[in-house]
């Protein structure tokens, strides 16, 4: 396997030029609170923004406060009854009729609690991703960032894995109004199940997820899960083991994505940049450094295709903040000093007060021979796709069937 190059420098060559970056941030997003002891902390988005501003990156991109997505916006993917539930429930009414009977149906509970202004949180997250898509559609940006987005587990009629509204699916549906083919890439430690499920039967969206597989939430994302019907071979899953490091991740990420780009020829790309794949994450089990994680964004940037960058998981807050600040700089094409500037959350970064951090010495359980076998299998699957599939541009892909329903329908034919 080739070694990872020094990521101290941003990609060289034609990609070194600046990009027009649109950045979406709602100043109220960090005030939302899932509850005591819950690992999801929206405060991390506010902290990342504060660090971005104190590095002066806000002066080098277009800053937008997203509109709040409406119930009609959310109903482009989510069922009306689920959206209406989210819009009207509160902590005080959850256990009252009629809300109480919907808790199990909509998977509301310990992982996905009802907290104050839950719907406002969903509106801001989704509004940022929809706004980012519109910027790309209009040609007003090369890269659009919404760190409050990336909530990839949410289903059409249910919350899942700390996610209530799938801003990614909504953003991709918006992109499809202008772009014939959209590529979705997920580097969160958890499988991007909600997005894969939404587009499992179409060739207008290709999903590629690099994730921990096995006895690990959500338990999906087997390498054999490749899509059905028109979507066959357009779902790609890269199941990895604990402790994968920068070198191994880059070794499999770059050739797989390079081949996808050549065969699929997407007109827009969406990157879910979940930071729980970083070393030392409270819920993760990978061993990526910030530079190794950001290398994925740098590589995608080099193709100069309209790119949406979203947040996602990440539960060791100080490292999530560092990562998303660093990746904002990568998107712009700026170098950052490793010594952190003064910021409102300076104490979180003690004792070194640096942007980067050392990975821990965890064991890499990904055997070289297994990675070689998996990479070859993935490249073979990609080769089965037609070059740049000729999609029917007038139609929006059906997102009404779950994968198991689509498989049953295919079996009946």
Give the tens place of pLDDT for each residue, 220-260: 999 999 999 999 999 999 999 999 999 999 999 999 999 99
Tokens of 205: 């969206």
Per-residue pLDDT for 400 more than 70? no
- Dump pLDDT digits (tens) for 304-347: 999 999 999 999 999 999 999 999 999 999 999 999 999 999 99
d(CA 126, CA 165): 7
The domains of the chain are located at 13-412
Across 325-353, b (16+ Cβ under 10 Å) vs e yields bbbbbbbbbbebeeebeebebeebbeeee
Residue 254 makes CB contacts below 8 A (sequence gap 6+) with: 299
Residue 239: φ, ψ to 5° = -80, 120
Q: How far apart, in whole angstroms, are the C-alpha atoms of residue 253 and residue 375? A: 9
Q: What percent of the chain has pLDDT over 90?
A: 88
How large is the average pLDDT for residues 28-56? Answer: 98
Query: CATH 3.40.800.20: does it fit domain 13-412?
Result: yes
- Residue 225 to residues 172, 262, 379, Cα–Cα distance (Å): 21, 21, 15
- Say if residue 3's pLDDT is above 90: no
386 confidence band (pLDDT: 50, 70, 90): confident
Q: In the chain, what percentage of residues exceed pLDDT 70?
A: 91
Query: Is the predicted pLDDT of residue 269 greater than 60, yes or no?
Result: yes
More confident residue, 396 or 135: 135
| Distance in angstroms (rounded) separating the CA atoms of residues 304 and 3 | 25
**pLDDT category, 8, cuts 50, 70, 90?**
very low
> 362: how many CB neighbours lie within 10 A of its CB?
15
The answer to whether the beta carbons of residues 208 and 184 sit under 8 Å apart is yes
* In the predicted structure, residue 404 carries a pLDDT above the cut 90: no
Q: Report residue 265's pLDDT band, with 50, 70 and 90 as the boundaries.
A: very high
Res 407 pLDDT > 60: no
Enumerate the active-site residues.
Answer: 153
Q: What tokens appear for 286 in the block?
A: 């990978």
pLDDT of residue 40: 98
Backbone angles phi, psi at 23, to 5 degrees: -125, 130
Q: How high is the pLDDT of residue 39?
A: 98
């Amino acid at each position: 396997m080739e070694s990872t190059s020094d990521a101290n420098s941003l990609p060289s060559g034609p990609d070194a030029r600046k990009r027009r970056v649109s950045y979406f941030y709602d100043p109220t997003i960090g005030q939302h609170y899932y509850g005591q002891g819950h690992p999801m902390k929206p405060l991390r988005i506010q902290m990342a923004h504060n660090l971005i501003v104190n590095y002066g990156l806000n002066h080098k991109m277009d800053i937008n406060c997203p509109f709040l997505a409406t119930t009609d916006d959310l109903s482009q993917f989510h069922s009306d009854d689920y959206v209406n539930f989210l819009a009207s429930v509160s902590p005080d009414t959850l256990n009252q009729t009629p809300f109480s009977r919907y808790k199990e149906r909509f998977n509301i509970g310990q992982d996905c609690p009802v907290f104050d202004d839950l719907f406002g949180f969903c509106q801001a997250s989704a509004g940022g991703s929809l706004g980012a898509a519109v910027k790309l559609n209009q040609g007003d940006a090369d890269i659009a960032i919404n760190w409050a987005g990336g909530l990839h587990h949410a289903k059409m009629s249910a919350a899942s894995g700390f996610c209530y509204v799938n801003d990614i699916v909504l953003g991709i549906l918006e992109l499809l109004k202008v772009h014939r083919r959209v590529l979705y890439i997920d580097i969160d430690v958890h499988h991007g199940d909600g997005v894969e499920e939404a587009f499992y039967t179409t060739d207008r969206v290709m999903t590629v997820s690099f994730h921990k597989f096995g006895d690990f939430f959500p338990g999906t994302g087997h390498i054999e899960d490749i899509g059905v019907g028109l979507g066959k071979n357009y779902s790609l899953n890269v199941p990895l083991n604990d402790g994968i490091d920068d070198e191994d991740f880059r070794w499999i990420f770059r050739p797989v994505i390079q081949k996808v780009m050549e065969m699929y020829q997407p007109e827009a790309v969406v990157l879910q940049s979940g930071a729980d794949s970083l070393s030392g994450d409270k819920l993760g089990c990978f061993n990526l450094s910030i530079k190794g994680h950001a290398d994925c964004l740098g590589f995608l940037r080099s193709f100069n295709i309209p790119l949406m960058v979203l947040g996602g998981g990440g539960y060791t807050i100080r490292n999530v903040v560092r990562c998303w600040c660093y990746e904002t700089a990568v998107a712009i094409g700026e170098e950052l000093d490793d010594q952190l500037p003064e910021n409102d959350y300076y104490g979180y970064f003690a004792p070194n007060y640096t942007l980067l951090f050392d990975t821990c010495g965890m064991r890499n359980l990904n055997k070289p021979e297994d990675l070689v076998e998996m990479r070859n299998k993935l490249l073979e699957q990609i080769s089965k796709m037609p070059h740049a599939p000729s999609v029917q541009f007038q139609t929006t892909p059906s997102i009404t069937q779950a994968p198991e329903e689509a498989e049953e329908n295919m079996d009946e034919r």
